[in-house]
Structure 1
């Protein structure tokens, strides 16, 4: 199904080839819009397809959040318990961090994005190394727990270790059992093999990106791949209470902290004044970005509507809804207000 008004907004973004990919929108069980736009590689004549498998990048964190909250709901985890209770062998500076601080990036842990770039590939060594170096995340801290917000892959590497300690399953197994099989979303999986990757390659300046990045090195930070349709279904299942049944816990998941830039628990949550809505709309937002691939998910829980957008153009600019301008603001206004 293609909604004309939404289609017009998206096509405005494709004119300069700064967007190409897939946009899907749902209201409850109904798909309002599902369409692919543009060529996979500029000038190739090969068009994007709805059923292609993409990198989900940092949307992976949201799924790690779902599984963590399931453990909280079952009473096996508490958001404010320190890591030391679950990983007794962890260094003291790691052990003092709480699960909440891991999920909202206030842990103060070592940050691999501060390591040197691989000059040949243009990505950090930790992301392109032949083997994952997850021990790095247990190295010297950058700040005291809770001191400041620092967007950090190590938060989710450690969170994956916590989940394994509690459940006995690694992150890939948890996604397979708790998400893919439970909700019949077969395309969703965690990449664990160094040579594995998604179907859709990223592009920059009209050319495919050859960066040497290995998704297997990214764990619960950014290693999931899957189809856009399965991500759309997942957001709708979450809002319907199928993944987390406790209403208060779902509210906490999407309740942003203003002093931390409205970060919530693996997502951003805020109330936005959109064009066409008489009152602000509560939005849960999650973005993902790996070289040449950009992902955006927007959920409006009170409306039961969500959307997922995938682009394999590094030039894609979603804009910022709070600034009331740009691609994301325009499409959110159309979907959530009209």
Structure 2
């Protein structure tokens, strides 16, 4: 088990109830849009200026990378740097923490198991996880995927926060994360309200394991990574990132940016946010997951039964609505399906058209949310909507 090295400086990061928080100071090194094969391609100067301005903000990200994919053609827009030390720009095949975008992966596992008849959306915690509190027993897989379960959020538990604060590299047993709130009642009657909770997707992964007798990691490989062609996507337990990676930074102007890429281990997030992927592979995943081919039509209909007004964390562009481990983003130019995420050093958006032929991934190497730098988030969502419009309008 990795332990905190003697004398290692603890990162300047405060822990929030829903995520590990970070702030970042930007540095600017502008890069032209490029095709996925590395050759320069015609790009929209307005979109490039939007990225340039984003990284030029005093509290903006050091770097940003956005991929617009239409069919077999991908445009890559970047601004700033993915590594302040070397000046290296962010690249499509660089690894990065995808934070709560990982919840869509647990959704993909669960919904594919539903299609195979190994899970049902009406399966309950009592059915599959009898070791969990009896008070939680009536919660269904459908409610977990929709964030209407009422499960208390383990990542807000004082004991969990204390352990992580004392040793950010602590390796948790991910299958015991719900123990931190096992003495807590449900926050509300299942199905009656929406509340985004990291506990939901931990329970989803545990139900998938119970139904199959397979580890969640093996199920990801069997049902998601291999069929979708995601060789650079993984779910580590430690704090190291595969090389090369987009560095994530905390910033608090006028302090210098602090690299927090490997400040925390992934075991404390697991199925709720521990996955590491790349901009290119995020696009490949969301085109399949949001599109019509990965799931049967009945399962997809259940997946896309959206609740208006319920948003991802952080909110995505436009007006948000929540489905089963997927969100609908209604922009001024049309609708996308996707997911967002934020964690120390990273904020993510992946979204695709309902037909699965076009996608947008938008990654910045700082954390922002409604609680952390809300003004930056507002600016970020504006830029994301401009990119969404470019994706939806252009042929």
Residues 232, 284 of structure 1: alpha-carbon distance in 2 compared, 3 angstrom cutoff: same
C-alpha displacement of 1:239: 4.3
**Which residue number in structure 2 is paired with residue 265 of structure 1?**
324
The answer to whether the 8 Å contact 1:115/1:124 transfers is no
**Which residue number in structure 2 is paired with residue 314 of structure 1?**
367
C-alpha displacement of 1:257: 0.4
Residues 93, 260 of structure 1: alpha-carbon distance in 2 compared, 3 angstrom cutoff: farther
Partners in 2 of 1:223 and 1:127 — Cα distance?
14
**Which residue number in structure 1 is paired with residue 358 of structure 2?**
305
TM-score by structure 2 length? 0.73
The answer to whether the 8 Å contact 1:256/1:270 transfers is no
C-alpha displacement of 1:224: 0.6
Of residues 223-232 and 301-310 in structure 1, the stretch that sits farther from structure 2 once superposed is: 301-310
The answer to whether the 8 Å contact 1:292/1:312 transfers is yes
C-alpha displacement of 1:52: 0.9
TM-score by structure 1 length? 0.85
The answer to whether the 8 Å contact 2:157/2:180 transfers is no
Residues 119, 93 of structure 1: alpha-carbon distance in 2 compared, 3 angstrom cutoff: closer
**Which residue number in structure 1 is paired with residue 282 of structure 2?**
231
1:127-166 equivalences in 2 (<5 Å): 129-132=170-173, 133-134=176-177, 135-143=179-187, 144-166=189-211
Q: Aligned with 1:58: secondary structure?
A: helix
Does 1:336 find its partner at 2:395?
A: no
- Tell me how many residue pairs correspond in the alignment: 325
C-alpha displacement of 1:43: 6.4
The answer to whether the 8 Å contact 1:41/1:203 transfers is no
The answer to whether the 8 Å contact 2:139/2:149 transfers is yes
Partners in 2 of 1:105 and 1:170 — Cα distance?
23
C-alpha displacement of 1:71: 1.2
Partners in 2 of 1:118 and 1:91 — Cα distance?
18
**Which residue number in structure 2 is paired with residue 252 of structure 1?**
302
Does 1:10 find its partner at 2:69?
A: no
**Which residue number in structure 2 is paired with residue 21 of structure 1?**
64
Partners in 2 of 1:313 and 1:59 — Cα distance?
15
Gaps of 5+ in 1: 275-280
1:31-50 equivalences in 2 (<5 Å): 31-42=73-84, 44-50=86-92
**Which residue number in structure 1 is paired with residue 102 of structure 2?**
60
Gaps of 5+ in 2: 1-34, 36-40, 252-256, 312-320
The answer to whether the 8 Å contact 1:106/1:145 transfers is yes
Residues 293, 260 of structure 1: alpha-carbon distance in 2 compared, 3 angstrom cutoff: closer
The answer to whether the 8 Å contact 1:157/1:219 transfers is yes
Q: Aligned with 2:131: secondary structure?
A: coil
CA RMSD of aligned residues (A): 2.9
Of residues 224-233 and 71-80 in structure 1, the stretch that sits farther from structure 2 once superposed is: 71-80
The answer to whether the 8 Å contact 1:285/1:297 transfers is yes
